[in-house]
A and B are shown apart, each in its own frame.
Chain A
């Protein structure tokens, strides 16, 4: 695909967010292309999670708008945004602790099939064989098939993250937002998650990812935006960002750390 055919699916248009006198985000412009993985990196307090919260409709921007596939997301409710095909993995896993792992993954499947609201009392969950098979296949993908009858609250933090990822994947979202998807995971689990995310990428799912782990970022990202003090200070292909002196000063603290991970 040439640059002239760039297919921008998510457009963050001049978004600012103030909390009282604090400018958490200032004039953010971001374009995410269809099927690409766009990483947002930056030091703590740079505004990464705030940006994600604005995209997903959890926070209303002070000015600017977020457009996804021609639809303005700003002002829409979280469930409406999800129904348009945007799913999110949270920094602290948001799951259903009282339900089993399998049920956790089946619930989002119902949202995808039945929409935002449907009183379905005639059928039984047990009779939904197709959805259950699909949920079990995805649990297999994330490596949680053996835990499917466990209560989700009993999982380790890393397993909860993987389950939350499965909960998003079963919806076949067109845009997946990941807030530090590998935080709290062992190196082995991190690598499994990277492989999984690379597999999804092959299927053409667009992703925005916030991550501290540079190994994860450089394994997955097609494009990187560096956020610092609520502004995008650099943007480009992974190699360009790696070589950017400004970035190294603001965030990476010197070239040696980047060399260390590669």
Chain B
């Protein structure tokens, strides 16, 4: 069936990616990042970044308001938990649906402009959502206290089949509790599905039209394409990805707060995508993992850890080295991340993936004559 077909190259990438994701608890161990809470975030923010990249990477429209859809997804999922059932699937489906509708409205209005004006419009809508969540919409969002589960939730589907238990319930999938490692594996499977769909979009005629819009929108219209619905579809798809990520955040921790919609969260996904490589499939995933790693692990390094790390440095220098490097870890993690970001943008405009490509090209040039390389380029890549 056409729906499940991938080119051999994409199928191989998907298989390798699946291997990497499934074995995450193993390879994150040396970095001290192998606890479920962080690995769940790795999977969730990878989905967020992959979806964002479908809009930014393919069409070139830079949205500064995608956290709004993340927040809408979280709220929808928590409401699904409160009103219907603790099962994760209805929550995900509803979240994707509602954030998609939300993206349709915001996208329809924002896409009347392009370039910086589009970015500002999306930022304005996201900040509006953020502020409304704290004010007018408190009946839905529960304002500053965040939307959370209570003992009085109706949960009509669950309670039709079983008695109300003791304490607050946790999210589940067909009766299996999703917490810790099982929660991570649930997010991992959703990530793989999301990645697969992104591959389909990238390889499809639709994806090529989106690239055409990024490359020369005027040529696209004189070539017979109505470009706005194309861009709007990409916007809605990426909004749905964000909603899916937001719902997964609620699955792993049934709580939704407005701070998820703040502009810093929107900026973060932009950084992830640029850091990893705009317009590539793997890049945004790498960017998401790197930033989440910095935020959660690098930020917890203290002088004690540094002192042990720099044990090999002779005594008179040791304290100086530790004192200087301590400014870059712990609370200073954003300094390191910022420097890394500047380095990437200046020297590797294509992000980490461009670095990977350059290293790969270096090896290939050494291994085989360059002529064979030129022949290997796929015409319809």
B204 adjacent to A125 (CB under 8 Å): yes
List 19 additional A-B contacts (Cβ < 8 Å) besides A96-B219, A117-B225, A148-B379.
A77-B226, A79-B222, A88-B222, A94-B219, A97-B215, A99-B211, A99-B212, A102-B379, A103-B208, A115-B224, A122-B200, A124-B204, A125-B204, A126-B7, A126-B378, A126-B380, A128-B205, A128-B380, A149-B378
Task: Output the least CB separation between A91 and chain B (Å).
Answer: 13
Task: Output the least CB separation between B375 and chain A (Å).
Answer: 9
A121 interface hit (Cβ, 8 Å)? yes
Contact with A along B205-235 (1 / 0, CB 8 A): 1111101101110111111111101100100
Number of residues on chain B facing chain A (CB within 8 A): 38
B225 adjacent to A111 (CB under 8 Å): yes
Contact with B along A39-81 (1 / 0, CB 8 A): 0000000000000000010000000000000000000011100
Task: Output the least CB separation between A204 and chain B (Å).
Answer: 21
A132 interface hit (Cβ, 8 Å)? yes
B204 adjacent to A122 (CB under 8 Å): yes
Of all chain B residues, the one with the shortest Cβ separation from A83 is B224
Total inter-chain residue pairs, C-beta < 8 Å: 121
Which of chain B's residues have a CB closer than 8 A to the CB of A132?
379-380
A121 adjacent to B215 (CB under 8 Å): no
B124 interface hit (Cβ, 8 Å)? no
With A96-B215, A132-B379 as contacts: A120 and B206 at CB distance below 8 Å: yes
B19 interface hit (Cβ, 8 Å)? no
A225 interface hit (Cβ, 8 Å)? no
B221 adjacent to A77 (CB under 8 Å): yes
Number of residues on chain A facing chain B (CB within 8 A): 44
A220 interface hit (Cβ, 8 Å)? no
A218 interface hit (Cβ, 8 Å)? no
B362 interface hit (Cβ, 8 Å)? no
A98 adjacent to B226 (CB under 8 Å): no
With A98-B215, A100-B379, A108-B223 as contacts: A124 and B206 at CB distance below 8 Å: no
B377 interface hit (Cβ, 8 Å)? yes
Which of chain A's residues have a CB closer than 8 A to the CB of B94?
none
B2 adjacent to A123 (CB under 8 Å): yes
A9 interface hit (Cβ, 8 Å)? no
**Chain B residues touching A, majority SS:** helix
B23 interface hit (Cβ, 8 Å)? no
B203 interface hit (Cβ, 8 Å)? yes
B5 interface hit (Cβ, 8 Å)? yes
B208 adjacent to A125 (CB under 8 Å): yes
A97 adjacent to B7 (CB under 8 Å): no
Which of chain A's residues have a CB closer than 8 A to the CB of B219?
94-96
B215 adjacent to A124 (CB under 8 Å): no
Contact with B along A161-193 (1 / 0, CB 8 A): 000000100010000000000000000000000
With A103-B380, A121-B201 as contacts: A82 and B208 at CB distance below 8 Å: no
Interface centre among B7, B216, B377, by most chain A C-beta atoms within 10 angstroms, is: B216
Which of chain B's residues have a CB closer than 8 A to the CB of A123?
2, 204-205
A10 interface hit (Cβ, 8 Å)? no
Task: Output the least CB separation between A80 and chain B (Å).
Answer: 8
B209 adjacent to A78 (CB under 8 Å): no
> Which A-B residue pairs are the 10 nearest by beta carbons?
A82-B224, A111-B224, A96-B215, A116-B226, A124-B203, A78-B221, A94-B219, A121-B204, A122-B2, A120-B205
Task: Output the least CB separation between A86 and chain B (Å).
Answer: 9
Return the contact of A117 from the options B204, B226, B379 (Cβ within 8 A).
B226
Q: In A87-141, which residues have CB < 8 Å from any B CB? A: 87-88, 90, 94-100, 102-103, 106-108, 110-112, 114-128, 132
